[in-house]
Structure 1
Amino acid sequence: MSSAPEVQNQEPNQEPPKETNAEQKPEEKEALGEEKDAAKEEVKVEEKEEKTEEKKEEKKKEEEEKDKKKKEQKKEEKKEEKKESWKDFIYNPRTGEFLGRTASSWGLIFLFYLIFYGVLTGMFILTIWVMLQTLDDAVPRHQDRLASPGLVVRPHAVEISYNRSDPTNYNPYVQQLHDLLQQYNDSIQEGNDLCLVGEYTDQDDQPKKKVCQFKRSNLRQCSGLPDASFGYAEGQPCVIIKLNRVIGLKPEGDPYINCTAKRNTPLQMIYFPPEGRLDKMFFPYYGKIAHPDYVQPLVAVKLLLTKEDYNVEQTVECKVEGSNLRNSDERDKYLGRVTFRVKVFQ
């Protein structure tokens, strides 16, 4: 009997393990539930954030697409505006404008430019007419030629070189001389006037200028009449010297042509006309219009080459002398003089 109360007295002081476990389980469950709820909330938050980001990206894409569409629409609108503006610029049916102006505006512009250019044309014609009144048809007002003329040699060659036994070598030279003397044929010159020898032929007051005769036959052995080869076949060639034309030139004194060989031994020559004279009757010259048939005086020089002169180059200088015409200007080697070379092969 005594053992029973002891047992009863001890039971209240001891807590059975099963009861403690039962009491702790709800708390753990609550903690676990809270953790799960927190995890779910976090997942929900993350999902919301992802959804919001997706929505933002979709909105951006939509905005970009809208911007592209707007840009494309603007481009199309601009193209249409340009087309319409070009059409309206060419012809605008609303305002009746053609190329940006009405018919009355175009008419006023054409009238203005017609009057403007008409006045300019009239002023130009007037100035040309006034200038022409001061000019002479026969004589140029200003001449760019020198007061002293130059000399020219024919055949037109600085060096006359040929083989006298081969006609094909000298035929070009002979042909040049024949061509030059065609207008000096006696049949043509007989129609010109006989002028006073040694006197100027002044014709300032005469509307039609006469021409003094210079016959080809005056050149005798160098005329090409007795010897059609002008002495080239026999090795004694002829050259013709002429003075360039200068309007109004009246040389003082008695001009003549003098030729010299640039070597120690003299070279024999014959002049036609005699002494190489340039007669005053062929001066002055009045120009191509007033003096269309004018023929200038010529001087032919026949070079009397000997056998010793063959195969040797001969340098000859011809000058106009006996007058006030210049012949020694170092700046112009053709002013009043001319130099040429001759070489004949046997």
Structure 2
Amino acid sequence: MSSSPQVQTQKPNQDQTQEPNQDQNQDAKEEVKAEEKEEKKEEKREKKEDKKEANEANEAKREQKKEKQGSWKDFIYNPRTGEFLGRTAGSWGLILLFYLIFYGFLGGMFSLTMWVMLQTLDENVPRHQDRVASPGLVIRPHAVEITFNRSDPENYKHYIRQLHDLLQSYNDSIQERNELCMVGEYTTQDNEPVKKVCQFKRSTLRQCSGLPDPSFGFKEGKPCIIIKMNRVIGLKPEGDPYINCTAKRATSLQMQYFPSEGRLDKMFFPYYGKKSHPDYVQPLVAVKLLFTKEDYNIEQTVECKVEGSNLRNDDERDKFLGRVTFRVKVSE
């Protein structure tokens, strides 16, 4: 009987301890919910602020664009100040006047300098000649290596065409209008306003003139090579210049010269320049290479030099100064 009252007194104590625990859980839940609500509110506020900031940034960009557009328009023409490209009409007038006077002065100085310089020049003879005193030699046909089959006209017709083109200005009908000059004497005419031109007729080249033989010897395998000297203003070669050609092989290749002995007559010197001497023709020397059947299909190297005068022909640095070298090969 004594134990039962004790049991009854213990039950209320257990209930009292459970109730506070439940209240505490509820309070904790409510606090969590409240915190979540606060966080959501904070997130909403932050989003609103971000939107605001983005809108403000966009508005600022739009305003900057408007300002830039307005500034460019104002730079081109500002209606408030009347400025065009940053200057008023008066400012533009002053600066244009300044540059007009400045560049006019420079142009006048340049023109005066050019006029003074031109007064010291001779229109016929260059003041400074950078060419060497000794001229070079060139050949026609214009080729370092002349190779052809004498039985095929198509094979050498371009060589013939070059020779005919060169000799057009030497036709007898044209050269008869020129002067008959003293053979072996310089044609000096420094004080003559109009320089005369000495005759050099095409017929002087005889078998290599293209008149008796339009093929210039190519058809028979004995081609003609025409040699001419480059023009040099005022050149007067001493002695009696002539062209001499040699074949650089053990077998001697026979040659025939027109005019005889390959002579370059003094009467064609000096040359006074293109303006004073517009119709001038330099003397030519034709060399006929007398190939035989034993020489066919063999490449012949021929060197031609100007000799008999003070003109140089032995400069190793310039292979065309006073000389010219070419190769010829004829086949049947």
Q: Relative to structure 1, is the Cα distance of residues 60 and 276 closer, same or farther in structure 2, using a 3 angstrom cutoff? A: same
Please name the residue that 1:273 is paired with. 259
> What's the offset of the Cα at 1:57?
2.4
Is 1:198 aligned to residue 184 of structure 2? Answer: yes
TM-score (norm 2): 0.89
Unaligned residue ranges in structure 2 (runs of 5+): none
Please name the residue that 2:146 is paired with. 160
Please name the residue that 1:13 is paired with. none
Specify which of 32, 45, 66 is matched with residue 80 of structure 1: 66
Specify which of 289, 298, 302 is matched with residue 275 of structure 2: 289
Specify which of 232, 252, 268 is matched with residue 238 of structure 2: 252
Specify which of 133, 140, 145 is matched with residue 119 of structure 2: 133
Q: Relative to structure 1, is the Cα distance of residues 338 and 43 closer, same or farther in structure 2, using a 3 angstrom cutoff? A: closer
User: Aligned with 1:135: secondary structure?
Assistant: coil
User: Aligned with 1:250: secondary structure?
Assistant: coil
Q: Relative to structure 1, is the Cα distance of residues 66 and 241 closer, same or farther in structure 2, using a 3 angstrom cutoff? A: same
TM-score (norm 1): 0.86
Specify which of 284, 288, 294 is matched with residue 308 of structure 1: 294
Is 1:329 aligned to residue 318 of structure 2? Answer: no
**Structure 1 CA distance, aligned partners of 2:13 and 2:154?**
144
What is the RMSD of the two structures over their aligned residues, measured on CA atoms? 2.7
Q: Relative to structure 1, is the Cα distance of residues 18 and 97 closer, same or farther in structure 2, using a 3 angstrom cutoff? A: farther
Identity of aligned residues (%): 71
Is 1:207 aligned to residue 193 of structure 2? Answer: yes
> What's the offset of the Cα at 1:284?
0.8
Q: Relative to structure 1, is the Cα distance of residues 301 and 33 closer, same or farther in structure 2, using a 3 angstrom cutoff? A: closer
Q: Relative to structure 1, is the Cα distance of residues 72 and 311 closer, same or farther in structure 2, using a 3 angstrom cutoff? A: closer
User: Aligned with 2:177: secondary structure?
Assistant: coil
Count of residue correspondences: 332
> What's the offset of the Cα at 1:206?
1.4
**Structure 2 CA distance, aligned partners of 1:306 and 1:231?**
13
Please name the residue that 1:180 is paired with. 166
Deviations 1:30-76 (A, max 9, x none): 87776676666555544543443333223222221221121121112
